[in-house]
Amino acid sequence: MDHTLLIKAAQFTETDEHDLTTGRLLDVAGTPMDFTKAKPIGQDIHADYYQLKYSRTYDHNFVLSGKGLTEAAVLSSPESGIRMTCFTDQPGLQLYVPANSPAAHGKNGRCYPAYGSVCLETQHFPNATSHPEFPSVILTPGEPFQSKTIYHFSVV
């Protein structure tokens, strides 16, 4: 929750009470979804905002700025000084912070707490086949698909 996150996205895909995308792109400005300036992940995660109401966490697709392989997000730990920069050519980035501890324990039987991890998943937009206005995810037989995502680790 103390890790700082910057996401280069001015919009995100709205979700309904079942966490399904509605097809609407919403602006992040002035909302808890705004990571255009680095901030602690936990700063707004419990805000009274309808997009956080159902899942009690971030589980949203951000509409990335730029085309081609570009910097999408920067995640850093003020405690360790470790920084991860995500570069991708994908149009979206799913931010997921698990609100519940996973049922299975981690390495060496370690139990991870709720909000104890963060996922940055590069992707096309969820449920894109139901929303023709989203970038297409349909591939025809023989059509190649190629994508690149780089996670670069450094020390601040």
Q: Which domains does the chain have, with CATH numbers?
A: 4-155 (2.70.98.10)
pLDDT tens-digit profile, the chain (156 residues) = 999 999 999 999 999 999 999 999 999 999 999 999 999 999 999 999 999 998 899 999 999 998 899 999 999 999 999 999 999 999 999 999 999 866 667 778 888 888 989 999 999 999 999 999 999 999 999 999 999 999 999 998
The DSSP symbol for 98 reads -
Cα-based distances in Å from 14 to 6, 17, 23, 28, 115: 19, 10, 7, 11, 22
Give the per-residue pLDDT at 156. Answer: 86
Over the stretch 90-135, which tens digit does the pLDDT of each residue have?
999 999 999 986 666 777 888 888 898 999 999 999 999 999 999 9
Residue 41's nearest CA partner among 81, 89, 73, 88 is: 73
The model's pTM is: 0.93
Give the per-residue pLDDT at 104. Answer: 67
